[in-house]
Structures are given as C-alpha cells and as structure tokens.
Amino acid sequence: MSSQGKSGFDRIIDTIEWLAALFVGIVAANIFIAVFLRKFFDTSIPDSYDFGRMLLGILIFWGIAATSYRGGHITVDLLWTHANARWKRYIDIFATLVLMLVVTVQTIMLFDKVANTYRDHVQTYDLNLPTWPFFAVAWMGDVCAVLLIAIRTWRLMADPQALAADSEGGH
C-alpha cells in the first residue's frame, strides 16, 4: 500500500517504528565506534559510557512503543489458545487495556524522572552535558507507546480484522 493510501494512524505507527529503528542504529554505532577507537587508537569518545547508557534507555522505551502496537512483546497464551474467536478478542482487549494502564503509569513516573533530572542539573561525567534531554527522548518513546497501545485498543474493538492484517505485515 502506498504511503498516500495509508490512514493517519498508519503513518504515525510507521514513523514511530522508524524512529525506534534509528535508535537501534545510533546505539550500535556508538558501541562500534567506541570499541574501534579503544582497540586501534587507544582512545575513547568522551562520555561514551554515559551516552551508551542513556541511548540504551532511549532504545528500550522506543522499543516498547514499536512492539506495543504489533503485539510483538512477550505474551502468555494459556487461556487464549483454548478460547473461541469471540473470547480471544475479549482477552486481547482486556490484556491491551492492562498494558495501556501499566505503560501510562510508567510514562507518568518517567516524566517525573525527566523533571527531577532537569531540576537537579544532572550532567555527564566528562563533558558536563545535561542528561535531561536523553531522559526526555526516552519519555517521548513511552508517550508514543501509550499512543500506539490506544490505537491498538481502538482497532481491537472497532476493526479487529484490520489489526490482524497489520500484525501479519499487511499494512
């Protein structure tokens, strides 16, 4: 399907998934360059450990966003596998609502961490750069996760066939 034929929801989903993939690339590049410089030039990137740690946090929260819509996260399907189609849908809706509640609370708590980091002027070790922007980008990933879980919940209730097609790569 062309990008012009996609709904607004689908464009949001694609953008969030591409951003998550971009953060994977940034984390991999940071690690590769740090190891390469240390091995062959006996030097390091200033604050590479701090950057790596914070970028990994960003990657985790954007990864939650990317997997939340597709249902690619770890699930326990003991009841679901033995249920009929109607009950499977109810279980999916309930599980997605619980996930949305948990991730929403997590998002609120992470915003508190961003605010505290900003307020306390926490900085990196070598370059004394503020760390709150890294926490803010991670928080934005969590906000995107809540948005995608809400879209998933809506589609589970309104059009579960479209969601099934999305999960199979049909979008």
Dump pLDDT digits (tens) for 129-159.
Answer: 999 999 999 999 999 999 989 988 998 888 7
Whether 75 maps to a domain, the answer reads yes
pLDDT in tens, 16-52: 888 888 988 998 999 999 999 999 999 988 998 899 9
Whether 153 maps to a domain, the answer reads yes
Q: What is the DSSP letter of 4?
A: G
- pLDDT number for residue 131: 96
Q: Determine phi and psi for 125, rounding to 5 degrees.
A: -70, -50
CA distance 103 to 149: 9
- Computed over its alpha carbons, how large is the radius of gyration of the chain? 19
- pLDDT number for residue 72: 61
How many domains does the chain fold into?
1
**How many CA atoms within 13 Å lie on the side-chain side of 37?**
11
Query: Count H helices, E strands: the chain?
Result: 5, 0
Q: Which domain range does residue 140 map to?
A: 8-167
Whether 105 maps to a domain, the answer reads yes
Contact 54, 135 (CB under 8 A): yes
Q: What is the DSSP letter of 123?
A: B
Whether 157 maps to a domain, the answer reads yes
Place of tokens 């740690």: 53
**How many CA atoms within 13 Å lie on the side-chain side of 123?**
7
Give the residues across from 130 on adjacent strands.
Answer: 123
CA distance 135 to 122: 11
Average pLDDT, the chain: 86
pLDDT in tens, 54-76: 999 998 998 888 888 776 655 66
Whether 1 maps to a domain, the answer reads no
Whether 58 maps to a domain, the answer reads yes
**How many CA atoms within 13 Å lie on the side-chain side of 36?**
6
Whether 3 maps to a domain, the answer reads no
What ranges in 42-131 are assigned the alpha helix state H?
Answer: 48-70, 85-119
pLDDT in tens, 83-99: 888 888 888 889 889 99
Whether 65 maps to a domain, the answer reads yes
Highest averaged pLDDT of the listed ranges 9-13, 120-124, 151-155: 120-124
Contact 32, 113 (CB under 8 A): no
- pLDDT number for residue 65: 85
Q: Is the pLDDT of residue 170 over 50?
A: no
